[in-house]
Homo-oligomer: A and B are copies of this chain.
Amino acid sequence: LAGIFIALTHFPVYNKHGEVITSALTTIDLHDLARVAACYGAAGFFVVTPLEDQQRLAEKMIAHWRDGWGYRYNPHRSQAMGLIRLIRELDEAKREIAREYGAAPLMVGTSAVDNGNRLSFSELRKKIGDDRPVMLIFGTAWGLTSEAINECDHCLAPISGRTGYNHLSVRAAAGIIMDRLLGER
């Protein structure tokens, strides 16, 4: 397996009015996505924010769980949090992965909005394990901007449930998507 990576980006994303913003870190998102990454064998979990105070906040939180009191309190959580890598922008992740794996990752955006040029879940499932690592990108707030999605190599199909309601939290959506891509079939 060349590896799958996930990224949670806090910029550029939309707010509810469709304006481009930098969202605030939510510690529960980091906990939940790190655990999903650990469960499905992701090689790393990139947390992307350009704000320095937010980076310091995240560093503190991660160190707490990885090395400090949190490790003794819950070693499982510690194991998951150890997958987190803090970066300022997605390009850093591309460069780091290219350096470590010898190939730039296939960048795949996720969005609840259908904007054409989609990969289905089964199409992406087949690509995982190819020579090229896959980077799955999740947005926060009201989702990745169209511009951010358009910079990806592909965009993954939206999750369709049974009702047309597709306003899932990123915590639930990340679990469902990783399970569709990597879970037992």
* Residues of chain A whose beta carbon lies under 8 Å from any beta carbon of chain B: 16, 28, 31-32, 35-36, 38-41, 73-74, 76-77, 79-80, 159-163, 165-169, 171-176, 178-180, 182-184
Contact = CB atoms under 8 A, between A and B. Distances in A.
Given A16-B74, A161-B178, 5 more contacts: A39-B168, A41-B162, A171-B175, A179-B179, A180-B183
A16 B167 CA distance: 32
A166 B77 CA distance: 11
A171 B182 CA distance: 18
Contact of A175 (B162, B163, B168): B168
Number of chain copies forming the complex: 2
Contacts of A80: 165, 167
Contact of A38 (B76, B159, B163, B183): B163
A183 B161 contact: yes
Contacts of A32: 168-169, 171-172
22 contacts: A16-B73, A28-B28, A32-B169, A35-B165, A35-B172, A36-B168, A38-B165, A39-B161, A76-B167, A159-B179, A159-B183, A161-B179, A161-B182, A169-B171, A171-B171, A171-B172, A172-B175, A173-B175, A176-B176, A176-B179, A176-B183, A180-B183
